[in-house]
Amino acid sequence: MPPEGDRQPDAKHFRALESLYAAAPINQLFPSRLEIVEPGFARIRFSIDERFHHAAGAAHGTSYFKMLDDAAFYAANSLVEEHFLLTTAFNLFFTRPILGGEVVAEGRWISGKRRVLVAEARLVDTDGEEAARGTGTFMRSRIPLAELPGYRAP
């Protein structure tokens, strides 16, 4: 959880971020659903099938990276109500192949609140096993969230 004494973002901000995620054109290629459960925690649910496979029949790393980055990003941006964050670095560790099925990416804020925030994420496959994990750093941009067309509470 964020440090005590800091003002907590509310559910309206979380729903607006979920709307922003759903509106991103990239998610037409990667059908998925974002849920921001609490400040500093985000979950993305998606399915892997052969459309996402590399030549050896398992999910390509782009799927891993996209979902881990998004889960960590939205966990961090759930704590920032004014500006869009930007990924400045992301380390990814593959632990097992994903062949198919439902996958969950869980992102959690770790530290930082001012200019740079750090968050981690993990992918859990259909068997409940961790398939990958990653850590990202995210920097506040000058882009106001309120000016982005997808950022709106339902």
Q: What pLDDT digit, counting tens, does each position of 127-148 carry?
A: 999 999 999 999 999 999 999 9
Residue in this structure with the two tokens 């459960």, named with its chain if needed = 37
With H, G, I as helix, E, B as strand and everything else as coil, classify residue 15: helix
Residue 153: what pLDDT? 79
Domain residue ranges of the chain, discontinuous segments joined by +: 11-147
Q: What pLDDT digit, counting tens, does each position of 28-82 carry?
A: 999 999 999 899 999 999 999 999 999 999 999 999 999 999 999 999 999 999 9
Percent of the chain at pLDDT exceeding 70: 95
Position 18: which residue type? E
CATH class name, domain 11-147: alpha beta
Residue 24: what pLDDT? 97
CA angle 105, 60, 28 (to 5 degrees): 65
Q: What is the pTM assigned to this prediction? A: 0.93
> How big is the chain by its Cα radius of gyration, in Å?
15
Residue 1: what pLDDT? 47
Structure tokens at 97: 């192949």
